[in-house]
Structure 1
Amino acid sequence: MFELKNAIRDYHWGSASQISDLLDLPAETTPQAEMWLGAHPGCPSRLSDDGTALNDFIAQDPERILGSAVAERFGRLPYLFKVLSATQPLSIQTHPTLQQAQERFAQENAQGKPLDAADRNYRDDNHKPEMLFALTDFVALSGFRQPAQIVEDLQLLAAHLPDSAQAPVSQLVGLLQGSDPLAAIFKHVLTAGDEISQLVRQISDAVAASGELQRNVHFAELVSISKIYPGDPGVLVALLLNLIFLEPGQAISLGAGNVHAYLRGLGIEVMANSDNVLRGGLTSKHIDVPELLDVTIAQPSPAPLLEPVALDTHDRLYKPDFEEFQLQVLDPTEPGLAADLQLHGAAVLLCTAGEFLVATREGEHHISRGQSLFVTAAELPATATLQGIVPGQLFAASAQID
């Protein structure tokens, strides 16, 4: 077992100190958006004892460290573990399939585009399915709503909008009542330019001026987003998507082609080991609308809640439909409560409360709030036992294949 040091990314949408407060760490970075735990070359964890980057450590003996099945299937640590803290909306975004990522990463390489180029779409050759476990109340947008629901909302809004907004709204309604409605309206919103920007401002002003409209939580959210991104087409995209309110302990799972945005909250995020993001609004970063539209699945989908498998009263396992990762969550309240860690290959562990004794066939290691461990496949199996009288919380990420 190896204790890790992990970097915090200072993206503008992050909180002042939520991550360091959670983990009882010095607030050396602000804003605090994401702490990365893993072996992504863009921001790898490092071994605490000698500073070796985790990706370089794994490269020394992938089969022993990752496990033979994981090393053969993926050739690298297949997941990236993050602590995410958002006080402002992240971009409207989606992620490619594995085949799309492999082909288009190679294409951009062949074009000679630098990996750090601002207009690059694909920074690696992997897909990026993900899950998020809420640590606090968490608000997100994910997946398209039914066209009829969007039409109903647009008609409600139209009654409060000026005459100049009626034709643009009617056009949106017409698109939603035509063929391939969600693809058509998504493309129009992202490409219509000033007409949509003006409509976004008119809708935001109308909702802000109407107590009746503000009682609709979706409408009220549009105003909140618009205050940060006035006139941004992404504000109107938000009306096309499911608005999801997660309570602590709930989780969602997002596959390729799912249009989504995290709006605010603190959570644990696990994903395939990639940084490929195609953006469509609520951002100052590069937007490639044709590429975004090409990878988007423009079909209605329900809120993608992910239910856990209960292993015990203090132990549950989240297994999304992606073989790259799973997340086990322990939250025992009584000293001495133990759990078998359901680990498949190399694992990353993070303690957010209390203290645990982690035991493998090669030894034991105490891990307390704010500490993280990398457990190699060669050390498995592993158990975790709560120490002391303080209730504990431990997260363990690994692959789903043996």
Structure 2
Amino acid sequence: MHRLENDIRNYAWGSHRVLAEFGGRPSPTARPEAELWIGAHPSTPSRLVGADGTSSLADAIAADPHHHLGSALAAEYDGRLPFLFKVLAAEQPLSIQAHPSHAQAKAGFAAEEELGIPRDDPKRNYKDPFAKPEVFVAQTEAEVLCGFRRSAHAAHLLSRLGVATLAPYIGSLLAGRASDGFRVVVTTLLSMPEEKQSTLAAQVAAESARAATASDVNPDEARAYEWVARLHEAYPGDVGVVISLLMNLVTLAPGQAVYHGPGVPHAYLRGSGLEAQGNSDNTLRGGLTPKHVDVAELLKVLDFEPLTDPVITAQPVPGSPAMHWPTPAREFGLYECEVTDDPHVMSLTGPRIALCLEGTTHLASGDTQLELRRGESAYFAAAEPDATLTGAGRVAVIAAGQVRRAR
């Protein structure tokens, strides 16, 4: 068991307060702080704190993958930590994006390697051959675009705007299978000339601002229209503002979560939370961004099926005071526990990382003991004994390999 030192990513959409206050540092910060990265990602690995200083967690795992991951995970993930743990703080909206499946990532990475595209090329889609499923658990109220909404509801939102250009899109959404309708609409929107995209985005934003205040609009619809107007202010002329009306707009209370499996489009709009994800950089963007949008590749990856019930609530772990958010992801499992003076054994297989969310947590594993305060974290290799938790606070734990591998 080792204490970890972790790094922060500075992106324009981040917060000047949330991560600083979480880590007990002065705020507001000079630069926006967007993500605290905890794990062994090659670009920003955490550091193991020892008596002789610090060392890279990624290097330690590479030197002895069987000790750190266990034999099964070391073979399955090629000696790589399967998960990445983040604390995310969004004051401004992120891009609409989706992530590939393992098979898509493996094929896409191999194709781009064969073409000789540098891995740091901003137009490259696949930085590695791994999937990137993710679950986001709100720590404050948060708003997220997550998956496509019911097609009839999407058609209704568009029809209220009275924009003539949208008529064929509305027809597509109301005819045949919902996934086919969304595929036609999204393909058309992303493929039209930039000038037409800009004109349509401006029209939809203007009419959405009007529709948001109509006397017969319900609160959920008003919120969707308000976000269209706000997104157009942030990304003027971006057709992603139109696509946002096709997606579920979810307001999460603290403790509620959303899961983004392969191909599910999503965008974090505001709020802070924990994000557990596959240890990958593979992101295909679909709007609300000045970055490269590879329309053809995005359309191959997107899951156009409506996501009818996107919110996940925490479930109790049998025989334990811990809760978890069930997902089909094998790369990670995310847990949370209220820590008290009554000892609780963190009985999980594989590598684990504990992050103190509130108060103080005392960890004992074998002959090693650590005390974590809010914002501090610790790492456990697969070969190390289970940890016993005591204290007064709240701790989150991410672990790998808790979902059985498909045969």
TM-score tier after normalising by the smaller chain length? over 0.9
Do the aligned residues in 1 keep the contact of 2:5 with 2:46 (CA within 8 Å)?
Answer: yes
Do the aligned residues in 2 keep the contact of 1:197 with 1:233 (CA within 8 Å)?
Answer: yes
- Deviation of 1:241 after TM superposition, in Å, equals 0.4
State the AA in 2 paired with 1:135: Q
| Residue among 69, 89, 92 paired with 2:96 | 92
State the AA in 1 paired with 2:329: F
- Deviation of 1:259 after TM superposition, in Å, equals 0.8
SS state of the match for residue 77, structure 1? coil
The 1-side partners of 2:367 and 2:66 are apart by 17
- Deviation of 1:25 after TM superposition, in Å, equals 3.0
Is it true that 1:201 corresponds to 2:202 in the alignment? yes
Deviation by residue 1:107-143 (Cα, 9 ceiling, x = unmatched): 1111111111111000111000000110000100111
State the AA in 1 paired with 2:152: A
Do the aligned residues in 1 keep the contact of 2:209 with 2:225 (CA within 8 Å)?
Answer: no
SS state of the match for residue 312, structure 2? coil
| Residue among 333, 348, 351 paired with 1:326 | 333
Deviation by residue 1:168-222 (Cα, 9 ceiling, x = unmatched): 1112112223451110001111122332321221222223245215952111111
Do the aligned residues in 1 keep the contact of 2:146 with 2:258 (CA within 8 Å)?
Answer: no
Instruction: Give 2:32's aligned residue.
Output: 31
> How many residue pairs get matched?
389
- Deviation of 1:313 after TM superposition, in Å, equals 8.6
Deviation by residue 1:298-356 (Cα, 9 ceiling, x = unmatched): 11122422232313795212231011101111134xx4033221422111111121111
The 2-side partners of 1:230 and 1:138 are apart by 23
Is it true that 1:172 corresponds to 2:169 in the alignment? yes
- Deviation of 1:9 after TM superposition, in Å, equals 0.5
- Deviation of 1:293 after TM superposition, in Å, equals 0.4
| Residue among 123, 131, 140 paired with 1:136 | 140
Deviation by residue 1:72-124 (Cα, 9 ceiling, x = unmatched): 22221110000001111111110101011011111111111111111100011
Question: 1:94-109 counterparts in 2 under 5 A?
Answer: 94-109=98-113
Moved more, 362-371 or 107-116: 362-371
Do the aligned residues in 2 keep the contact of 1:244 with 1:303 (CA within 8 Å)?
Answer: no
Instruction: Give 1:161's aligned residue.
Output: none
* Identical positions, percent: 38
State the AA in 1 paired with 2:112: E
Q: Which ranges of structure 2 fall in alignment gaps of 5 or more residues? A: none
Is it true that 1:118 corresponds to 2:122 in the alignment? yes
Instruction: Give 2:295's aligned residue.
Output: 289
Moved more, 307-316 or 249-258: 307-316
Instruction: Give 1:162's aligned residue.
Output: none
SS state of the match for residue 43, structure 1? coil
- Deviation of 1:26 after TM superposition, in Å, equals 4.8
The 2-side partners of 1:151 and 1:106 are apart by 39
- Deviation of 1:29 after TM superposition, in Å, equals 6.7
State the AA in 2 paired with 1:301: L
Is it true that 1:274 corresponds to 2:309 in the alignment? no
Instruction: Give 1:19's aligned residue.
Output: 19
Distance 1:128 1:29, change over 3 A: farther
Q: Which ranges of structure 1 fall in alignment gaps of 5 or more residues? A: 159-164
State the AA in 1 paired with 2:22: L
The 2-side partners of 1:62 and 1:47 are apart by 15
Q: TM-score, normalised by structure 1?
A: 0.92
State the AA in 2 paired with 1:72: A
Question: 1:150-165 counterparts in 2 under 5 A?
Answer: 150-158=154-162, 165=163
Instruction: Give 1:57's aligned residue.
Output: 60
- Deviation of 1:65 after TM superposition, in Å, equals 1.5
Moved more, 256-265 or 44-53: 44-53
SS state of the match for residue 240, structure 2? helix
| Residue among 68, 77, 101 paired with 2:81 | 77
The 1-side partners of 2:313 and 2:184 are apart by 32
Do the aligned residues in 2 keep the contact of 1:17 with 1:30 (CA within 8 Å)?
Answer: no
The 2-side partners of 1:386 and 1:339 are apart by 10
Moved more, 261-270 or 146-155: 146-155
Deviation by residue 1:263-318 (Cα, 9 ceiling, x = unmatched): 11000000011010000111111110000001111111224222323137952122
Do the aligned residues in 2 keep the contact of 1:214 with 1:220 (CA within 8 Å)?
Answer: no
Deviation by residue 1:127-166 (Cα, 9 ceiling, x = unmatched): 00000110000100111112211111122111xxxxxx41
- Deviation of 1:4 after TM superposition, in Å, equals 1.0
**C-alpha RMSD over aligned residues:** 1.8
SS state of the match for residue 37, structure 1? strand
The 1-side partners of 2:356 and 2:127 are apart by 30
The 2-side partners of 1:377 and 1:399 are apart by 10
Distance 1:207 1:214, change over 3 A: farther
Do the aligned residues in 2 keep the contact of 1:147 with 1:182 (CA within 8 Å)?
Answer: yes
The 1-side partners of 2:23 and 2:344 are apart by 22
Do the aligned residues in 1 keep the contact of 2:316 with 2:324 (CA within 8 Å)?
Answer: yes
State the AA in 2 paired with 1:377: A
Instruction: Give 1:217's aligned residue.
Output: 223
SS state of the match for residue 311, structure 2? coil
Instruction: Give 2:394's aligned residue.
Output: 393
The 1-side partners of 2:360 and 2:30 are apart by 25
